[in-house]
Amino acid sequence: MPKKVDHEARRQEISEALWRIAGTRGLDGASLRDVAAEAGISLGRLQHYFRTKDEMLAFALQHINRLANQRIRARIEALEGEPTPRQVLRACLSGMLPLDPESRTGTLVGAAYFHRAVHDETLRAEAKDGIPKLRAFFADQLRRAEERGELPPGRATEDEAMLLISLADGLSTYVLLDVHGPEQAMRLMDLQLANLFDRKETDPDH
């Protein structure tokens, strides 16, 4: 097996050990040594791949984002015919919520990453970069919906896009805390979409 592939497989194994810790006892206070032990390798060997916890979290987060993108793409492809912008948005938002064990672990690793990013500008750069891109994509879907006459006028804005994204984040937190279950989180997301797509100003002169 070529060396490069071997390295990637090893990084993957370490990532999986990290996910198991994220899913069980949590990443708060988990050290590189803990992850090495979970992966069944020495600390020195782990540090050959990841020098710091931040490097390891960044790698795990990228992988989790890839999985989320695959999940979202699969949901969109599963739709009958040409999906509407509303269906595309709903598929993205459902892919952002912890609705199954895989996405739950993804949310936990993401939360651990963001928790450190608050105090680290380098880590924060990734979060700051990713969310505006997502917002632009969402706003674009809203504009497509408006053009198709499927969204009341004046609502295809970056702010409405940001409300959807921020809401997905808040709903996810409460799923992890058992305040509500995955189905209720999705139901609340659908309510937000219905409020966006199916309502207009009560007073047009307002």
Query: Which residues are near a second copy by CB under 8 A?
Result: 24-29, 31, 108, 111-112, 114-119, 124, 127-128, 131-132, 152, 159-160, 162-163, 165-171, 173-174, 176-180, 187-188, 191-192, 195-196, 198-203, 206
Closest distance between a second copy and the C-beta of residue 55, in Å?
15
Q: For the chain, what's the residue count? A: 206
Residue placing its CB nearer to a second copy in the complex, 73 or 128: 128
Residue placing its CB nearer to a second copy in the complex, 32 or 39: 32
- Alpha helix (H) residue ranges in 82-181: 85-96, 101-117, 121-147, 158-176
Closest distance between a second copy and the C-beta of residue 1, in Å?
36
Closest distance between a second copy and the C-beta of residue 121, in Å?
9
Residue placing its CB nearer to a second copy in the complex, 139 or 168: 168
CB 56 within 8 A of CB 18: yes
Closest distance between a second copy and the C-beta of residue 111, in Å?
6
Long-range pairs for 31-39: beta carbons < 8 A, 24 or more residues apart: 32/56, 39/13, 39/14
Burial of 170 (0-12, 13-18, 19+ CB in 10 A): exposed
CA atoms within 13 A on the CB side of 16: 9
Residue placing its CB nearer to a second copy in the complex, 70 or 157: 157
